[in-house]
Structures are given as structure tokens and as C-alpha cells.
Amino acid sequence: MSDALTVVVLLLVAGSATATVAQRDPARQALVLSFLGVLLAALFTVFQAPDVGLSQLAVGSVLTPLLIMLSVRKVRRRARSEEGTE
Amino acid sequence: MSRLRLWLLAVGGAGLAALLAAACLELPGFGGSRHPYGDRAVHASLSRHTANTIASVNFDQRAYDTLGEMSILFAAVLGCVVLLREARDEHRARPEPTDVARPVRRYALLVLPVALVTGLYVIAHGQLSPGGGFQGGVVAATALHLLYLGADYHALERVRPLGVYETTDALAVSSYLALGAAGVLAGTAFLANTLLPYGTFNTLSSGGAVPLLNAAVGMEVASAVVVLLAHFLDQAVEIEEEPGRGTP
Amino acid sequence: MHVLPYLVGAYLFLTGCYGLATSRNLIHAVGCLAVCQSATYVLLLAVGYRDGATAPVFSDLKPGSRPVVDPVVQALTLTDIVVGATVTALLLALVLQIAKRHGTVDPDELRELRG
């Protein structure tokens, strides 16, 4: 039973990692990355590592995507203001 | 992307994949029962009355490594602060206060205290239950930013005097060092967990120096994340370049 | 089953590398690097797993009553995650600087600018 669960979560992680890399728009990639973070947290819980799962949930699915989104916003705003002045 | 580069990537990737697969086949099987280091770590943790073995490994057995990790964290935050400072050709534009949808506002203000307390709880119980300074610090720091969702940027800036958090960050690293040096002064080794009594198993004050080091890390991570997010938010929301002085 | 978790770790690393190499946007590349980082977490935790074992937390478990998984690799992974996030932040700060100085975040255009 737990073997089957491990295999399923592992394959889900591999699938969503592929989706993260394949998504070329950084803002959408941040969302997929956040989903990958949740899946990884689930995988770590299956691996009996609740400490690591908690850490991954806080960092991988909240902090990193948030930083990426903020960077995307900054870069887009810059591009827009440059178009406006030229 | 030129064709040559794609070919190079394909060849290199295939070679690396083959090597990695060969290495995976040689690894001890998944789920094996031989974990000599793990068994010793569990034994050492129990002998020092720390219920959460991972906290014991991080803040007692490998406390010196954690010091290194804290320094990386500190240096990375310092680098971000320097890179994202307001340059000479930029100015701050106060963002217009915008209307927040009522359900969002209510939800954010409701969840904010809960998330903050959860973060502090996770830090405080690091040596007992899953969690600790690293996780709780991130939770508490990101919880604070729900205020940006629930109210506006101005409200967030008022509860977040950046200087205080930057000082806290430095103080937390120094207190970790001071706790380590206390061991030397007491006649044992740097960061050796021999100074304080180990206490009763499975209580908040158990584990000797583990709760103190854990609290120092929690403080450091929380203030580091607040400082990081503050600088990124400043860039994304407030700081603008002077018009006409963009790229050459 | 005995090697699948390791292979998934290797796969995550290779996918992240592919994304890094073919990326047309530096922010996207940082996201791919995060995928590469997650490969190390999966590999480390897979090495420490033990069949039928439980988490190495003894607040509600009588010591010695059940086997526990390896806590050393978990502690390594834990700090790895937090340090990885700050490194991501540092890289994103560098990307913002590049965007400011060169007006683009496309690595190919950057190369043309220099040459």
C-alpha cells in the first residue's frame, strides 16, 4: 500500500517538474513551481520526513514563487515604462 | 538556440543521464535497513533528552555546520540588500492605495494572526515536534505579508521598520556565535552542548542549548525573509527609474 | 521499486538542466534551477528511507519501539531547502540588476550586447 503511494507521488513529482520546465512564461511557471512545491512536501511526508515537508511547504510553495512573481512584475513594469518614454 | 548547442546539450545530457543511472543502480536499495549514522544520531539525541532527532542533529551534533548555513543565509541576504538598494538614477513613487475585495481583506486579516502564531509555535516547539527555527521563521515572516493583501503597502511598511529587522538579523547571528563561544569559556569546545542541564525529556526546556540555538536560527530566518521580501517588494512596487535615464 | 526514487531524483536534475540550458528568460532559468535543487532533496531523503519506519520524532513515540528513518539526511535536506531559497533570492536580485543595466533578461540578447 505505502509502496504504491510512494510510486504515485514520485511520478506526480516527475510530471510536474516537467511541466515547470516546459512552462516558458515565468509568471505561470511560478504557479506550477508552487504546485511542485506542494507535491514535494507530500512526497517528503510519505518519506517520513515531516520536518523537511514543512520546510518545503513554506519555502518551495510560498517563498520562492513569491520572489519569482515579484521579479517578473519588476521586469515587466520596467519594460512598460521604457515603452512609454520612447 | 543554434543547432550545434542543442547537439552539445543532447550529447552531454545523454552522457550524464547514463552515468547517473549507473550510479543509481549501485546505490544501496531504497528502504534498506542499514543506516549506521542514523542509528548513532538517534542514540545521541535520546541521551541528550531531545525528542526531535532532527533538531538535535542540526543544533547539537552538527551545530557547527548550521553556523555555516546561517552565514550563507546572512551573506545572501546582505548581497540582496546591496544589489536591490535604491540607485542614484531611481526614485520612490508611492503606490496608489487600491481597493481590496472585501472577502480577500477579511480572509487575509483573519488568517494573519493565525499564521503568525503558527510560525512562532513551530519555532518554539522545534526540539519536540517536527518544525524548528528554519521552518517557523519562514512561516512567521511570510505571514506578516498577508497585511499587504489585506490592507495596502503603506500598512505593511508601518509594521515593518526595516532597520529593526536588519539589526535583529545581525543580532541573531551574533547570539548564535555567543552561545558557541560560551562553551569555549566554560572550558569545553565551541558549540558543545555541555553548558546547560538537559532537562526533562519531551518538555520545552529539554535538550540543553538546543532550544536557544533553535530560537536564534528562528529569529535570523524570520528577519532575513522579511528583509528579503521587503527589498523585492520595494523594487516591484515603489522604486522607479528616472524617465529618460534608462539603458544607454 | 528499489531504484525508482533515485531515478526520479536524477530525472529532476536532468530536466532542470535542460530547462536551464534552453531558457530564453533569466527568471525562467532561476525557476529551472529550483527544480534542479529539488532533485537533491529527493535523492537525500530516498537514501535515508527505511521500509516500515516512522519519522525520527520521539515526542509521541516510545524510543526503540519502532524503527525510524535516518535523521541525518533529513537535517541536511532541511538546511539545504532554506539556504537554496536564499540563493534563489540572490540570483533573482542579480537578474533584476541585469534587467536594469542592459534592459533585457534574455541570455542570448545579453551575449550579443557584450560581443
**Would you place residue B102 in the very low, low, confident or very high pLDDT band (cuts 50, 70, 90)?**
confident
- pLDDT for the residue numbered B236: 86
Q: Distance between CA atoms of B220 and B92, rounded to whole angstroms?
A: 28
Q: Which CATH architecture has domain C4-58+67-114?
A: Orthogonal Bundle (1.10)
Asked if C90 has any chain A CB less than 8 Å from its own CB, the reply is no
**Average pLDDT value for residue range A16-24:** 93
Asked whether residue B63 carries a pLDDT value surpassing 80, the answer given is: yes
Neighbours of chain A (3+ CB pairs under 8 A): B, C
- pLDDT for the residue numbered C115: 52
Which chain A residue's Cα is nearest to C26? A26
Cross-chain Cβ contact C82/A82 below 8 Å: no
Rounded (10°) CA dihedral A56, A58, A61, A66: -140
- Per the structure, how many domains does chain A have? 1
Q: Is the ipTM of this complex over 0.90?
A: no
| pLDDT-wise least confident of A62-71, B93-102, B123-132, B218-227 | B93-102
pTM of the model: 0.90
Q: What percent of chain C has pLDDT over 90?
A: 50
pLDDT, one tens digit per residue, over B131-148 is: 888 999 999 999 988 888
Q: Which of C43, C45, C26 is nearest to C88 (CA)?
A: C26
* Helical ranges in chain B per DSSP H: 3-26, 36-47, 53-56, 63-83, 102-124, 133-144, 146-150, 153-158, 162-185, 210-233
Higher pLDDT: B94 or B209? It is: B209
pLDDT, one tens digit per residue, over C20-31 is: 988 989 999 999
Chain C residue numbers touching B132 (CB-CB < 8 A): 78
Cross-chain Cβ contact A85/B225 below 8 Å: no
Chain B residue numbers touching C109 (CB-CB < 8 A): none
Q: Is C68 helix (H, G, I), strand (E, B) or coil?
A: strand
Q: Distance between CA atoms of B141 and B54, rounded to whole angstroms?
A: 22
* Structural domain boundaries, residue A7: 2-85
Cross-chain Cβ contact B33/C63 below 8 Å: no
User: Domain spans of chain B?
Assistant: 3-241
pLDDT, one tens digit per residue, over C47-85 is: 999 888 888 888 888 887 888 899 999 999 998 898 889
Cross-chain Cβ contact B1/C22 below 8 Å: yes
**Would you place residue B239 in the very low, low, confident or very high pLDDT band (cuts 50, 70, 90)?**
confident
Q: Distance between CA atoms of A8 and A1, rounded to whole angstroms?
A: 11
Q: Distance between CA atoms of B31 and B181, rounded to whole angstroms?
A: 40
Distance between terminal CA atoms of chain B? 26
User: Domain spans of chain C?
Assistant: 4-58+67-114
> Contact at 8 Å (CB) between C44 and C63?
no
Residues 11 to 50 of C: which have CB under 8 A from any A CB? 11-12, 15-16, 18-19, 24-25, 27-28, 30-32, 34-35, 38, 41-42, 45-46, 48-49
Alpha-carbon distance values, A38 to A17, A29, B89, B136, C45 (Å):
12, 14, 40, 17, 16
Higher pLDDT: C64 or A56? It is: A56
Distance between terminal CA atoms of chain C? 50
Which chain A residue's Cα is nearest to B232? A70
